[in-house]
A and B are shown apart, each in its own frame.
Chain A
Amino acid sequence: MAYPYRHEKETLVLSECFGDPSARTVAGWKRVGGYQGIARALEIGREATIEDVKASGLRGRGGAGFPTGLKWSFMPKNSSRPHYLLCNADESEPGTFKDREIMRWTPHQLIEGCLVGSYAIGASHCYIYLRGEFFETTQVMARALEEAYAEGLVGKDILGSGVDIDITLHVGAGAYICGEETGLMNSLEGRRGEPRIKPPFPAAVGAFGMPSTINNVETLCATAHIARHGGEWYRQWGTDKSPGTKLFCVSGHVNKPGNYEFPLGFPMMELIDDVCGGMRDGRALKAVIPGGSSVPIMSADDCRACSLCYEGVEAAGSMLGCASVIVMDETTDIVKQVRRMAHFYAHESCGQCTPCREGTTWATRILQRIEDGRGTEDDLDTLVQISEQMTGTTICVLSDSLAMPIISSIEKFREDYLALIRRGERVGAA
């Protein structure tokens, strides 16, 4: 089966085997150079592997874009306590579907990435925390892991190196907040999925109270390739601040939505107009959410000169996040879209922190009222102020994640709100 959409401009590093079921086996993965990354890492040693990842400039693909090599180097050296590597495969950011595809088609890519990461941080146990809804993915991963154990790639004395690394799959129960790193740890430990206060940071006190590092699926997969080819190799793509390739999950009103892999810095309009075959039914572009629902909305104008790298999207007033590009055409009701997102965040708020627990629900209800034609202009000021009260005041950033789309949408699409509000006033709805 050919992978749904391909484009000749793509740079296939992580997604080379998408659509090829034969790559799901150890043999298939080895055919494309698999398990050479961990072999080389074991050869050059822990420190050198971390140095390679540092040199590659790889930034976390889960959304925050934190340098991976630096994160690994935070782990204590010479500590007698067990270390854990946690792989965040809870992919639940609306609009994101890259990790699922990586695991579906190339489970061994992730297993190899986990081995490299575990080895580098001195962990003898890695947990892959899978999103609860990933039924097929979990099966594929479980089958691949079983084979990897059988082949001596995982478990005791991997590849005859004397290093022990176990990998456990843990399936969540389907909560957005368990994709937050410390919420994930609580969930993994069997507690309520509630983010923890930092400090202490996971590198000091993480899963089960032990030093832990948590990385996204795509990040760990990239480290498998970096371990194999070296850090400089990875820098052949991307920009100075955003090296490497990235999977872009394009969804929404384009003709060919899907996962596309490009070097970071790829122009957004080229992605939409060329790679994705342009807008649905030839309509005009209205807005783009470039990084999963938790980032500020961009207007069509913001998109023109935007290049898809961390600094490029930031310059355009938003954030690259996990590069989940949600494209909306001129027929999109922005208020409804934002209300729908607000409902999601209100539903997924864990409820610990007051501003998030109450603010997300309140904002949703105000947005619903505006959508129903019963809003006032004061509501827009209230929404912005609530959003400001929800920014930077909580343990994790879930409430910030709603505040950003609300503030940016009111700023950039105020007319959409006002149209609904005025229509409501005209027909006299109370």
Chain B
Amino acid sequence: MPDNGPRADTVTLTIDGREVTVPRGTSLLHAAETQGTTVPHYCYHPGLSAPAQCRICLVEVEGAPKLQPSCVTMAEDGQVVHTDSPAARRMRQGVLEFYLVNHPLDCPICDMSGECKLQDYVFDEGREHGRGREPKRVFGRDDFGGDVLYYGDRCVMCTRCVRFMDEVARDSRLTVVERGSRAVIDTFFDSGLEGASFAGNVVDICPVGALVSKDFLHKARAWDLDHTPSVCTSCSQGCNIELHTRDNLVQRLMPRENQEVNGHWMCDYGRANYEWMNRPGRLEAPMAGRGGERRAVDWKTALEHLFVRLQGGTGDVMVVGSAEASNEGLAALGWVGEAVGTVSARVFRSPRADDEEPLPGYPLLVRRRDLAPNVDGAGLLGFERAGDDTGAGGLEAVAGHDGIVLVLGDGLADQDVRFGASAGLFVYLGSFDSPAARNADYVLPVTTFAEEEGSFVNAQGRVQRFWPGLRPPGSARPAWLVLGALAAALQGGRTPASAAEVFAGLEAGCAAFAGLSYDAIGESGVRLEAVHG
């Protein structure tokens, strides 16, 4: 290309009568977005290449002989663009009519109904009555393998799924077969999507109900689901997700866009790992007394008695945390330990996979070896890894300790009933009961991450917040609330009223968190190094 001297790196154009300045190389679709106009689109997806084939994003550009696809037409200085001119609107109405020639109107039984782009656009701009009198073509249903089902009749041939597998998963397992209106998406041979690690994303990016999740099939209507921003807890990548809940049950996990962490994607392992959040048999009330003497008590009694026991404690404290507990919970656990004496062990255990698995087309996203969300947070807060790669062992000293033993979030699944038998005081904070908690003087029910507010630090050193999407069972409370109150009572401080207040106290013991406000972390997180230059 000839160099015509320096060029400004922004361009200024007029979209729908308003002047917009955008970086050079911005598509008209994005430029329109900056001023609040969404141009309808199907084949275009921000995480994929743009084939400009759905033809619904065509806009009028003054001077151009035809309508231009806004997804691939770059903004230029002085352009005058009309996204809603009669010509553009007529064309969109035409394209929508074409889609409905063959798209079944089975919205009442379609999983996508309520979040379907075809439904949305037709309601917005489509013809009131269809003119199609011909019978619709029928393809039927195809099991693509893995968690993915394909309803060919509903497919709008945007090819997002094919491009995701080609460009992002780099595992070309889907293709378009046949041509014209006989074209369908299909898999190669019999293997299909079985065994692919990121294929669940094709369901998310399907703009209609052509690709659906077998796991979610007919489980809930989209409009009945509550969406809670959260962080995936299946590995230390901490993909940003949403918990989709209904009837106080998590119905599915969906990735939430964060270009610093997971883009638009998440792995199938993390996506499928949510049933435990709905598991029954939870600890619902605080309990006091060892073994057969164990009885349920109210929180006030439990905490008052525990406070007295801790005040008169013996001094040598061993603390077992968990890489699944929040920064706030782990910090408060540490404060309690430090308030009653010398902490001689401060450990956590966490399972590790043999390898990690990156998403080839989006290498920032890696399913990490550490299969827990807060390994780095635990490390920053002074917890040391114990045990082996299965998350077992390493607690020999703690099991026979004769001082104070505090356990948070570790289910002690590999430990036997003698654990903590010789402890002067053994406090077990968990969501589920454990045989190894038999000797606990106090068993305190705490919430899971899905039921509480808090933060994790992921493998990139990024603090990320999550919010409660489920109501806790019984009287279970967030660990930071329980431990924060105890620490405050022991140290004479103020009882923290929120996770934010606990977080504000983190910087005192851990420089990494200094100067960081909970609000600033927001929904997309903050990298710790970034805060400290």
Contact = CB atoms under 8 A, between A and B. Distances in A.
Interface stretch (B178-186, B423-431, B487-495): B178-186
B131 A382 contact: yes
A128 interface: no
Contact of A346 (B58, B102, B132, B180): B180
A361 B97 contact: no
Nearest to A356: B180
A64 interface: no
Nearest to A359: B98
A197 B157 contact: no
Q: Which of B66, B91, B181 has the most CB of A within 10 A?
A: B181
Interface in A371-404: 382, 385-386, 388-389, 392-395
Contact of A354 (B99, B137, B182): B99
A395 B157 CA distance: 15
A351 to B, nearest CB: 4
A237 to B, nearest CB: 32
A211 B335 CA distance: 69
Contact of A355 (B51, B66, B98, B183): B98
A93 interface: no
Given A197-B69, A393-B67, A393-B95, A357 B54 contact: no
B266 interface: no
Contacts of B133: 366, 369
Interface in B51-103: 51-56, 58, 65-67, 69, 72, 90-91, 94-95, 97-99, 101-102
A362 interface: yes
A386 B101 CA distance: 11
Interface in B147-185: 156-157, 176, 178-183
Nearest to A358: B98
A354 B95 contact: yes
A194 to B, nearest CB: 8
Interface string B23-54: 00000000000000000000000000001111
B180 A357 contact: yes
A348 B180 contact: yes
A389 B91 contact: yes
Given A197-B51, A197-B52, A393-B55, A175 B98 contact: no
B134 interface: yes
A197 B66 CA distance: 14
A350 interface: yes
Contacts of A361: 101-102, 137, 180-181
B179 A175 contact: yes
A355 B102 CA distance: 12
Given A362-B132, A393-B91, A350 B180 contact: yes
Q: By DSSP majority rule, is chain A's interface helix, strand, loop, or mixed?
A: helix
Contacts of A354: 53-56, 95, 98-99, 156-157
B206 to A, nearest CB: 16
Contacts of B157: 351-352, 354, 357
A229 interface: no
Q: Which of B56, B69, B134, B179 has the most CB of A within 10 A?
A: B179
Contacts of B102: 358, 361
Given A351-B157, A394-B55, A358 B94 contact: no
Nearest to B137: A361
A355 B176 contact: no
Contacts, number: 94
A349 interface: yes
Contacts of A393: 55, 58, 66-67, 91, 94-95
Contacts of B52: 197, 395
Contacts of B180: 346-351, 357, 360-361
A369 B131 CA distance: 14
A96 to B, nearest CB: 21
A6 interface: no
Nearest to B96: A354
Contacts of B179: 175, 177, 348-351
Interface in A42-99: none
A365 interface: yes
A30 B182 CA distance: 49
Contact of B183 (A357, A365, A388, A394): A357
A192 interface: yes
Interface in A159-205: 175, 177, 192, 197
Nearest to B131: A382
A256 to B, nearest CB: 36
A93 to B, nearest CB: 18
A113 B95 CA distance: 43
Interface in A217-246: none
A358 B72 contact: no
Given A353-B55, A354-B54, A355-B55, A362 B183 contact: no
Contacts of B94: 355, 385-386, 388-389, 393
Contact of B134 (A175, A357, A369, A392): A369
A394 to B, nearest CB: 6
Q: Which of A349, A362, A382 has the most CB of B within 10 A?
A: A362
A355 B95 contact: yes
A395 B131 CA distance: 25
A389 B69 contact: no
A205 B178 CA distance: 27
Nearest to A193: B179
Nearest to A352: B53
Contacts of B156: 354
A175 B55 CA distance: 23
Contacts of B69: 197
Interface of A: 175, 177, 192, 197, 346-355, 357-362, 365-366, 369, 382, 385-386, 388-389, 392-395
Given A351-B176, A361-B101, A393-B94, 17 more contacts: A197-B69, A349-B179, A350-B180, A352-B53, A354-B53, A354-B55, A354-B56, A355-B94, A355-B98, A359-B98, A360-B181, A361-B102, A361-B137, A382-B131, A389-B97, A392-B65, A393-B95
12 contacts: A348-B179, A350-B180, A351-B183, A354-B156, A357-B98, A357-B157, A359-B98, A361-B137, A362-B132, A389-B94, A393-B94, A395-B53
Interface of B: 51-56, 58, 65-67, 69, 72, 90-91, 94-95, 97-99, 101-102, 131-134, 137, 156-157, 176, 178-183
Give the top 6 A-B pairs by smallest Cβ distance, nearest first.
Answer: A389-B94, A351-B183, A358-B98, A349-B180, A361-B181, A352-B53
